[in-house]
Amino acid sequence: MKQLVLILMNTLCALSAAQASIIIQSPGSDRNAFETFLKENPSAISYSQYLRQHSESNPSQEESLYALAEKLDSPSNEIVLRLMNIPDRLSSTSINYIYDLTNKLLERKDLSKNQDLIRLNCKVRGLLSVPFDNCGTTSLDFTAMKKQWPFAQGLLLESVAYSFTTSALVQISKDAVYSFTLYSDSHKAIEFKGTYSQFMQQHFVGEPLVDGSCSGFSSNIDDFTVQSSGAIFFKRDCIKAFQDAGKSRSLAEWAQDNKAWLIPVGILLVGGAAYGLKDKKIVIDKP
């Protein structure tokens, strides 16, 4: 009976944590087991997938570009300045919009040789895999990145994601300034703004998102969404919610959080106990 209770309690803990939508891999945990867990729980996403999805849209940035498109006849200095001041980390929508905008602006006689526009047009061509037109280019070396930053799994170039395992040849503008983000399921994302050459000269140090083990841990993340709905994968039978970080929970607290499961399990246990006593004679001696 004691063994049955322990099995059921472990199952309940795992099921409760698995309901979290964003799963972080603890450093040192088995990568294959982590990926298997995600496949078996389609409602959950990895931390790196959350970062990639989060970067895909930027409403305020896109709104600024929409407003700019309505003023394409503005004086050249004004419109170029406004375009250059668009915030970094371009969303996928912004990348497409900037490509269209710069092509239209470069058709204007007073802007056809504007170097800022040409550089920006070359920048987004690489992100869209569009053939380059009079742009200096360079190829992304994912093998070198993985060797230089082994804690990372891939790169976000603006909002375009590349896994370090990709074998595709990716070319970008050699002179353009990009927003680079190294992402991982187990370490904090590292951001850098500069040219590709400058990026490859950096010596970043990975900072784990979680420190500790299944028996006790602390988290190193300040994202409210992750803190409120995230969980940490230590191993298949140990997945901890972020709310459990740095605190010891009493049995009463655990029972309160899992009462939806405890009631039917309690019935199951009582039924099991009753079945175990079936056909047994119970004798109560008087004191």
Going from the C-alpha of 11 to that of each of 34, 83, 242, 260, 265, the distances in angstroms are: 17, 54, 18, 14, 11
More confident residue, 51 or 11: 51
What is the pLDDT, as a whole number, of residue 50?
93
pLDDT digits (tens, 9 = 90+) for 17-46: 444 489 999 988 999 999 999 999 988 999
Cα–Cα distance, 249 to 256 (Å, whole number):
11
Residue 239: phi, psi to the nearest 5? -125, 115
pLDDT digits (tens, 9 = 90+) for 184-195: 999 999 999 999
5-9, 17-21, 22-26, 267-271: least confidently modelled range:
5-9
- Other C-beta atoms closer than 10 Å to the C-beta of 217 total 17
Burial zone of 31 (CB within 10 Å; 0-12 exposed, 13-18 middle, 19+ buried): exposed
Q: Which residue reads 């409210």 in tokens?
A: 224
Both tokens assigned to 25: 């891999």
What is the pLDDT, as a whole number, of residue 264?
53
**What DSSP character marks residue 89?**
S
Helix H or strand E segment including 120: helix 115-128
CB 195 within 8 A of CB 206: no
* pLDDT band of 228, cuts 50, 70, 90: confident
pLDDT digits (tens, 9 = 90+) for 153-176: 999 999 999 999 988 889 999 999
CB 132 within 8 A of CB 126: yes
More confident residue, 280 or 168: 168
What is the pLDDT, as a whole number, of residue 283?
41
In terms of Cα–Cα distance, which of 186, 114, 120 is closest to 158?
120
CB 209 within 8 A of CB 226: no
Task: Please measure the distance between the N-terminal and C-terminal CA atoms of the chain and give it in whole angstroms.
Answer: 28
Cα–Cα distance, 161 to 50 (Å, whole number):
12
Using a CB cutoff of 8 Å and minimum separation of 24, what contacts does 254-262 make? 257/16, 258/12, 258/13, 258/16, 261/12, 261/15, 261/16, 262/12
49-58, 165-174, 254-263: least confidently modelled range:
254-263
CB 12 within 8 A of CB 258: yes
| pLDDT higher than threshold 60 for residue 11 | no
Cα–Cα distance, 129 to 157 (Å, whole number):
13
| pLDDT higher than threshold 80 for residue 58 | yes
Both tokens assigned to 249: 């929970």
List of residues 6+ apart from 161 with CB closer than 8 A: 52, 55, 154, 155, 183
What is the pLDDT, as a whole number, of residue 73?
78
* pLDDT band of 100, cuts 50, 70, 90: very high
5-14, 99-108, 120-129, 267-276: least confidently modelled range:
5-14
What is the pLDDT, as a whole number, of residue 197?
96
Mean pLDDT, range 201-214, rounded to an integer: 92
